[in-house]
Chains A and B, each alone.
Chain A
Amino acid sequence: MDLSFTQAEQDFQQEVRDFLATSLPHDLSEKVRLNKRLGKDDYQRWHAILNDKGWLAPGWPVEHGGAGWSPVQKHIFEDEACLAHAPRTVPFGITMLAPVLLAFGTEAQVARYLPRILSGEDWWCQGYSEPGAGSDLASLKTRAVRDGDHYIVNGQKTWTTLGQHANKIFCLVRTDPDAKKQEGISFLLIDMDTPGVTLRPITLIDGQPEVNEVFFDDVRVPAENLVGEENKGWTYAKYLLTHERTNIAGVGFSNAALATVKRVASEVTSGGKPLAQNPFFAARLAQVEIDLMAMATTNLRILAAAEAGRAPGPESSMLKLKGTIIRQELTSLLRRALGPHALPHQPDFLDGGDNAETLGHEQAPGAAANYFNMRKLSIFGGSNEIQRTIVAKSVLGG
């Protein structure tokens, strides 16, 4: 057994480090490091830098402008990017829609949309959830009725992440109301500029307008925007879920968060000594670190299986469960580490330029906001309750 990366993988890791050291703009990494709020420009700037290097779309084939990386290479990149405090890449176009188009889309769709994702011309968002269809996604009601060479779409989507920046939305819509729940659903691409589409922002618990409601009122969508076959959308949605859960454990995010908590704990004092020396805090931190070390290896075991061609089964649910619990605990520890400094709400610092002043520690303004925001990790992408059911069913059946 050998737990280390191969020489080629180590070389790749070094190449990634060098690239991040020279190409990641300092102002961007500072924003990420301090949990400041990123705008559309910030994401687009980082996408453009990655695209210039040919690294924006890690999993796409090289002939479509992707990096063509193996699962382990993707993992190495994500880990290093997190540790360097790079912004995350917005997943909707790159890791959600594109694989579906490559597997099920027409040549015309692939040729039209993939380059526009890379260039930043299109910002996609994901229109799956509805007010009445969350965990029970297949009960979605948004209707698409064929009318000549168009579909007429009526209904509502919700929780659409960063939809305010998007010009395109990929949606699950009901095309056959009489079929069984999963069988009457289609996968449709919709231009947000089409008349009849309206957006209402939703402010989250941390004060950020991160998600939106999207309303469709007699929206005319060209029939060529259907992906794959009519009424087969559920298959594509499931494909998307099982195949693009690469970074689901979030090991890189946790490694970066752990480093931050450790640094803060060495910088703030409790009873005249660094907090890191307080046995109660140190014990909490050590427990998470121990869990994280094991999870990193669980993650690599699953990656190795994926490289050997085995499709991930319930393991990806386990990774999601453990990964979100660890990430959430780390946000909780950072908040605690800051003690009373975590109390004030400091939007100027979070939104503002570099010279906006912070009270207390530099990590103070973002700590509580991030803690509350990260509660979402155990809710979206299939809630942790749903993941537990998947794991149990895989051994118990039913």
Chain B
Amino acid sequence: MDFTLSDERRMLQDSLSRYLADHLDHERRRKTLDSGAPYNADLYKGLADLGTLAALFPEEAGGFGGTGPDLALVFETLGRAGTLEPFLPAALAAPLLTDHADLVEQVIAGESIVTLAHTEPDARYDLADVTLSAKPTLNGTKTNVLFGAQATHLIVSARESGDRLDPEGISLFLVPTDAPGLTITPLTNVDGTASAQIAFTDTPAETRLGEPAQGHALLETATAHAILALSAETLGAMEAAKDLTLAYLQERQQFGRPIGTFQALQHRLADMLTEIEQARSAVLNLAGHLDAPRDIRERHVSATKNLVGRVAALVAEEAVQMHGGIGMTEEYELSHHARRLVMADHLFGDVDHHLERFIHLSGG
């Protein structure tokens, strides 16, 4: 067994951490949010130039990574720094763009953003729940499209045949965001990240990704990548929340001593640290099985999303609680990580969804 990083990965992680330490801190992040911009375009370009996006794509597609460990280390580093930039869409799109080298090149350069438009207003977290139709043009509505208003291209899931919940019959289409018939409503999520609701009215469906009506398997693959990326990002945010809490317990004085000397808080900190190690292992499990056969991979997908979701809520709630009033303020960095930690559970299936799915995948 070997849990060490290869030299190349270590170099990427080092340069990424260093760049983020130099270019992003809580004040600059808040400045971006206050400006109303969805993210800092200069920071995004700078990170793209470092090869951050290239690390999300396999060599065949023009990148230099794309494996589970690549995604895990990039996103943990991004999450720890609290980046708002559109990396998650790239992680989602990476496995779907194998035949579109030109577009991949632009994504890697930070010049195009490709995002998945999949969730529908009544679909909750079920990947097969698709009603947007492609007969032959696209008609319907997608919500929670990450960076939908900033994207240059959408990957849209649409039903060509079958009934509402059938896994069969779903196709994926690549649609430029300047295509006719798109109504894009930009939104900001509770954690500050950008998303959009998009209505399609007779939008042409010219470019299909993969085989007709066989899109469900591709969706699962893309979602597996996204769940790994998001889980690793969440792990990074947990580490940041933990560091802040640790420092606060040592510096905050009440009753004439640091609050970290109260056993009630020490034990809770110890539980938090233990659970974060569990989350780290869950992320590694998924990273190591991202390319495994479908049934093995998907068990790890649901196990990881469930465990990380549970730990993330615990870390957010405990970190705020142990900070007292300060932890409740918008000004202080912790509340930003806390919001990200909690709201990540609402993307790609929450703890309950993945618990149920894990039981089902395990033959239950």
Interfacial residues, chain A to chain B (CB-CB below 8 A): 129, 132, 134-136, 139, 158-159, 202-205, 207, 211, 268-272, 275, 278-281, 284, 332, 335-336, 339-345, 359-360, 368-369, 371-372, 375-376, 378-380, 383-385, 388-389
Contacts and interface: CB of A to CB of B under 8 A. Distances in A.
B124 A270 contact: yes
Interface stretch (B20-28, B94-102, B316-324): B316-324
Interface in B296-325: 313, 317, 320-321, 324-325
Nearest to A202: B329
Interface residues of B, number: 48
B254 A134 contact: yes
B144 interface: yes
A129 B325 CA distance: 10
B328 A343 contact: no
B199 to A, nearest CB: 12
B9 to A, nearest CB: 32
Contacts of B165: 271-272
B291 interface: no
Q: List the 10 shortest-distance A-B pairs measured between CB atoms, nearest first.
A: A203-B330, A136-B254, A280-B352, A205-B335, A344-B187, A368-B190, A339-B124, A136-B255, A343-B189, A340-B144
Nearest to A359: B197
Interface of B: 119, 121-122, 124-126, 129, 143-144, 164-165, 187-190, 195, 197, 253-256, 262, 264-265, 313, 317, 320-321, 324-325, 327-331, 335, 338-339, 342-343, 345-347, 350, 352-353, 355-356
B312 to A, nearest CB: 12
A135 B347 CA distance: 37
B324 A205 contact: no
A383 B125 contact: no
Given A205-B335, A272-B164, A385-B262, A158 B343 contact: no
B251 to A, nearest CB: 12
A376 B317 CA distance: 11
Contacts of B350: 336, 339
B331 A369 contact: no
Given A129-B325, A205-B335, A385 B346 contact: no
B321 A269 contact: no
Nearest to A281: B352
B264 A389 contact: yes
Contacts of B347: 340, 343
B124 A269 contact: yes
B345 to A, nearest CB: 8
